[in-house]
Amino acid sequence: MTRLVPFFGFALLAVLLGFGIWWNSAHDPTAVPSPLINKPAPAYVLPKLDDPARMVSKESMLGKPYLVNVFASWCFACGEEHPVLMAESKSFGIPVIGYDYKDDPNDAKTWLTQHGNPYDTVIADQSGHTAIDFGVYGAPETFLIDGKGVIRYKRIGPLTPDVIEQQLKPAIEALQKEAP
C-alpha cells in the first residue's frame, strides 16, 4: 500500500491542477477583487462635460442606482467598448453616467459627437484626482452604485456583451429586487 502513496499524492495534485484550469477559464486570473465592493462610493463633486458650471455630486445622485462608466477619448479600449455601450446602455434601465477621465473636454466632446453618446450625463475629471479615490486603474472601468451610494459591482476593462449578460445585468436585477 505504501507504494501507492506517491500515486495518490499525484492524483490529488492533478485534481488541484485541473481545478486551476477550470477556475482560470471561469474567472479572470488577473482580476483583483476591489476593496471598494460593498463599500460606500467616495464622495465626489465633478462638473458636467457639456456645462462645466453645473456640478454632479454623490449626494445629488442618491436615491436610485446608477452606473458609472470611466472612459476617455485617448483610450483605445474605450473605442472597442463604445459600440457595445451604444447598443446596450438603454437596456440597463438605470442611468448611465459617463466619467471622462484625464481628458481634454474638447477632445471628449468631439469623440462623443463622432461615435455617439450612450450616456445620460457625462461628468469630467480632468485632473484625475477623484478617480484615485475610486481606485481607477485606467479606462475603461465601470462601477455600479446603488441608491444608498454603495459600490455593488466593478468591472476593470471594457464591457463586452458576455460580461453585460453574465455579470452586469444580473447585478442590476439583484439591486432592483432589493429596492422596495
Partner 1 sequence: MTPELGQLALILALMLAVAQSVLPLIGAWRGHRALMAVARPAATGQAVFVALAFAILVWAFVHFDFSVQYVAANSNLQLPWYYRIAAVWGAHEGSMLLWVLILNVWTVALALFSRQLPEVFLSRVIAVLGIISVGFLCFILFTSNPFGRLLPMPPDGADLNPVLQDPGMTFHPPVLYMGYVGFSVAFAFSIAALLGGSMEQAWVRWARPWTNAAWGFLSCGIVAGSWWAYAELGWGGWWFWDPVENASFMPWLVGVALIHAQAVTEKRGSLRAWTILLSLFAFSLSLLGTFLVRSGILTSVHAFASDPRRGTFILCFLAVVVGGSLLLYALRAPKVAGGKAFALVSRESAILIGNLMFTVAAAMVLLGTLFPLLGDAFNLGKISVGPPYFGLLFPLLMLPVVVLLPFGPYLRWGKSDTPMLKQVLVRAGVAALACAVVSMVFVQGQLKAIAGVASAVWVGVGVVLYLVKRWREMPRGRRYPAEMAGMLLAHLGVAVFLIGVLLSESLSVTRDVRLSPGQVAVVGGYEFRFDGVTQAQGPNWVAEQGVVTVTHNGSPVAVMHPQKRTYSHEQVQTQSSIDPGISRDLYVALGEPMDPQHVEGAWALRLYTKPFVRWIWGGGLFMMLGGFVSAGDRRFRVKREAEQAQTVSSTLQESRA
DSSP state of 91: G
Which of 33, 53, 114, 180 is close enough to bind partner 1 by CB under 8 A? 33
Which of 23, 38, 45, 170 is close enough to bind partner 1 by CB under 8 A? 23
- Number of residues in contact with partner 1 under rule CB under 8 A: 22
Which of 18, 40, 52, 93 is close enough to bind partner 1 by CB under 8 A? 18
| 180 touching partner 1, by CB under 8 A | no
| 17 touching partner 1, by CB under 8 A | yes
Per-residue string for binding with partner 1, 124-143, x by CB under 8 A?
--------------------
| 93 touching partner 1, by CB under 8 A | no
Which of 3, 91, 162, 180 is close enough to bind partner 1 by CB under 8 A? 3
Strands 66-71 and 96-101: parallel
Nearer to partner 1, 13 or 62 (CB): 13
| 32 touching partner 1, by CB under 8 A | yes
Q: Which residues in 118-133 are b (16+ Cβ under 10 Å) and which e?
A: bbebbbbbbeeebbee
| 24 touching partner 1, by CB under 8 A | yes
Q: Which residues in 86-107 are b (16+ Cβ under 10 Å) and which e?
A: eebbeebebebbbbbbbbebee
Quickly list DSSP for 130-161.
HHHHHT--SSSEEEEE-TTSBEEEEEES---H
| 12 touching partner 1, by CB under 8 A | no
Residue 158: exposure state from Cβ atoms within 10 A (0-12, 13-18, ≥19): buried
d(CA 84, CA 78): 10
| Interface residues toward partner 1, by CB under 8 A | 3-4, 6-7, 10-11, 13-14, 16-21, 23-25, 27, 29-30, 32-33
